[in-house]
Amino acid sequence: MRFFFRRLGKEHALSILRWRYLPPYDFYNFDINTIQEDLCYLTDPKNAFYAILNVYEELEGYCSFGADGQVPGGDYSTEALDIGMGIRPDLVGQGHGKHYAQAVVKYGANIYRAQKCRVTIAEFNKRAQRVWAQVGFEQIGKFVKTGTEEEFVIMIYEV
Ligand SMILES: CC(C)(COP(=O)(O)OP(=O)(O)OC[C@H]1O[C@@H](n2cnc3c(N)ncnc32)[C@H](O)[C@@H]1OP(=O)(O)O)[C@@H](O)C(=O)NCCC(=O)NCCS
């Protein structure tokens, strides 16, 4: 599988905002009431969102590099490139997650010259944890998001 990365533009961002995951992954659905704010957030260059495109230039997913991937309450004292990722809902659950994750790590580590990559994942989301473990990430901690009862795990990968 070959993927291409491009800074997230308005059109792709609007598609992503409409994506709908089935429960329990609806946790990752964007809120239809905050489309304008979310659109600004996704397309603001400082948040470093990228479209993941296939060879036909179709949008298959998105990723982010940097602070967007952090969750309040986590320990981010170690220097590492934080990664966030979401794959188009009709493509998930088919065993391809590791291919996207591998491509994202390779691209991010290269453009940011990162020695370590880090992901922060909801504790309930064993599918995502499995994908990152498949590409070599190891869990180094667990915490509760500030102001909530939601548990998250932090996983690290040495490039
Ligand atoms: C997280 C995500 C990238 C995973 O990709 P995916 O293509 O859906 O995952 P896969 O189908 O490759 O499944 C990965 C593994 O998880 C396993 N898995 C699936 N559901 C599972 C569950 N409920 N518990 C444990 N493992 C599970 C699969 O069997 C597979 O393992 P295997 O290769 O050993 O068989 C994708 O689902 C996604 O973008 N989800 C929405 C956003 C999200 O979850 N973000 C989290 C931060 S990355």
Domain that includes residue 126, residue range? 4-158
* Per-state percent for the chain, helix, strand, coil, to nearest 5: 35, 30, 35
pLDDT at 135: 97
Ligand 1 centroid from CA 128, angstroms: 5
Residues linked to residue 120 through DSSP beta bridges, in sequence order: 154
* 8 A C-beta contact, residue 155 and residue 105: no
Any residues with Cβ below 6 Å from ligand 1, and which? 21, 25, 28, 85-87, 92-98, 121, 125-128, 130-131
Backbone φ/ψ region at 127: left (φ over 0), alpha (ψ -120 to 50), beta: alpha
Which amino acid is located at 99 in the chain? H
Q: Output the six-digit token pair for 16.
A: 């992503």
Residues linked to residue 63 through DSSP beta bridges, in sequence order: 50, 85
φ, ψ (nearest 5 deg) of residue 137: -75, 145
Ligand 1 centroid from CA 15, angstroms: 21
Ligand 1 centroid from CA 73, angstroms: 24
Evaluate if pTM is beyond 0.75. yes
Rounded Cα distance, 86 and 139, in Å: 20
Sign of CA dihedral 6, 131, 88, 28: negative
What is the residue-wise DSSP string for 54-82? -TT--EEEEEEESGGG--TTS---S--EE
Give the CATH number of the domain where residue 119 resides: 3.40.630.30
Show pLDDT as tens, one digit a residue, over the chain (159 residues): 899 999 999 999 999 999 999 999 999 999 999 999 999 999 999 999 999 999 999 999 999 999 999 999 999 999 999 999 999 999 999 999 999 999 999 999 999 999 999 999 999 999 999 999 999 999 999 999 999 999 999 999 999
* Domain tally, the chain: 1
